[in-house]
Amino acid sequence: MSNLALYFTAPHQMELRAEPCPPPGAGQVRVHTLVSAISPGTEMLIYRGQMPQGLAADEALASLSGALAYPLKYGYAAVGRVTDLGAGVDAAWQGRLVFAFQPHQQCFVTPVDSLLPVPEGIPPERAVFLPNTETAVNFLLDGAPRIGEKVAVLGQGVVGLLTTALLARFPLTALVTFDRYPRRRAQSVAWGATLALDPLAEDALAQARAHLDAQSLYDGADLTYEVSGNPQALNLALELTGFAGRVVIGSWYGTKRSPIDLGGRFHRSRIRLLSSQVSTLDPEHTARWDKARRLAVAWDALRTLPAEHLITHRIPFTQAAEAYRLLDERPQEAIQVLLTYTPTT
């Protein structure tokens, strides 16, 4: 059976390679992809050659167990339909709509226990947001927002907007967001931000501090999320955060570097910097939480959160290079770019 898979071959270069999509073996199924979502954060680092060479792509996912080195097949948000069953697989899987942490490709064979059935009522174009929604859930677990707190979110890409949407469900006093692009700021307000600002605006910090009712040098946000992908944004996060506040760093910067000012308010303010990454759970949570519970919460959020409203472009898989050029050269036009697939033969 014919099958094309997307490979990153060098910075700003990719190709579609023909690969076999064999009949499934025992305990396996074959899935034909319907849609897959491009991660505008992680995948742009790979596209631009800004990922740490040789680091494991994702030690938690068998489909991404290799190293971050060219040529690289990548992607982790695919929704498709099961077309063929291997020996020993329950017949109920036939034709089922499923989510898979799989790279961008037309068809794949995988153990059935690696798939997540898409719940009834969630369409494929919403289901592809599962990984980023799970990431947002993880951010909230790690940041632990509390009633009445003042929260800031730096970066309103896909993950930032989903984080804002979930935070808006809390009874917060203020929810300030930052993003360079007007389209994202407008969506941020639509999803519950009480103020959305351009971080490059001359008065952005003053506006934010006024909205957060920061009346002294050590006042500010109780909780700040840095999810912009820009390491320089950490300086703004520190300026926004009040005494004993928390800064959750959800961005992966790859090889990008920027000087961080830890010589000012940071030291005396007892600000806590917290790393949050979805491949693992904070050990403080593991007595009560595991990945299955976190995924269930993400699915439940997607029942009522119309994440597909973030899709700005639907591009055929065979024109994937166009999708990556768009995100690289004209990011102000896009939020979520989706690759769409035609049936394979």
List pLDDT tens digits, range 172-231: 999 999 999 999 999 999 999 999 999 999 999 999 999 999 888 789 999 999 999 899
Categorize the per-residue pLDDT at 55 as very low, low, confident or very high, splitting at 50, 70 and 90: low
Distance of alpha carbon 228 from alpha carbon 156, whole angstroms: 7
Percent of the chain with pLDDT over 70: 95
Q: What digits encode the pLDDT tens for the residues 85-109? A: 999 999 999 999 999 999 999 999 9
**163 pLDDT above the threshold of 90:** yes
Range list of H helices, 62-157 = 124-127, 130-143
Distance of alpha carbon 279 from alpha carbon 103, whole angstroms: 16
Torsions phi, psi of 135, nearest 5?
Answer: -60, -45
Determine the pLDDT at residue 345. Answer: 47
Q: pTM for this one?
A: 0.92
Burial of 343 from C-beta contacts in 10 A (0-12 / 13-18 / 19+): exposed
Residue 199, preceding peptide bond in cis (omega within 30° of 0): no
To which residue do tokens 């390679």 refer?
17
Per the model's pLDDT, the better-predicted residue between 84 and 217 turns out to be 84
121: left (phi over 0), alpha (psi -120 to 50) or beta: left
For residue 332, the tally of other CB atoms under 10 A from its CB is 11
Whole-number Cα distances in Å, 97 to 56, 119, 195, 338: 29, 9, 38, 17
CATH level 3 topology of 132-275: Rossmann fold (3.40.50)
Per the model's pLDDT, the better-predicted residue between 55 and 12 turns out to be 12
Categorize the per-residue pLDDT at 51 as very low, low, confident or very high, splitting at 50, 70 and 90: confident
Q: Among candidates 253, 203, 204, which has minimal Cα distance to 228?
A: 253
Q: What digits encode the pLDDT tens for the residues 274-311? A: 999 999 999 999 999 999 999 999 999 999 999 999 99
Contact 252, 42 (CB under 8 A): yes
State the Cα angle at 250 between 244 and 251, rounded to 5°.
Answer: 125
Domain boundaries, the chain: 4-118+306-340, 132-275
Categorize the per-residue pLDDT at 1 as very low, low, confident or very high, splitting at 50, 70 and 90: low
Q: Which CATH superfamily is domain 4-118+306-340 in?
A: Medium-chain alcohol dehydrogenases, catalytic domain (3.90.180.10)
Which one-letter DSSP state was computed for residue 118? P
Categorize the per-residue pLDDT at 56 as very low, low, confident or very high, splitting at 50, 70 and 90: low
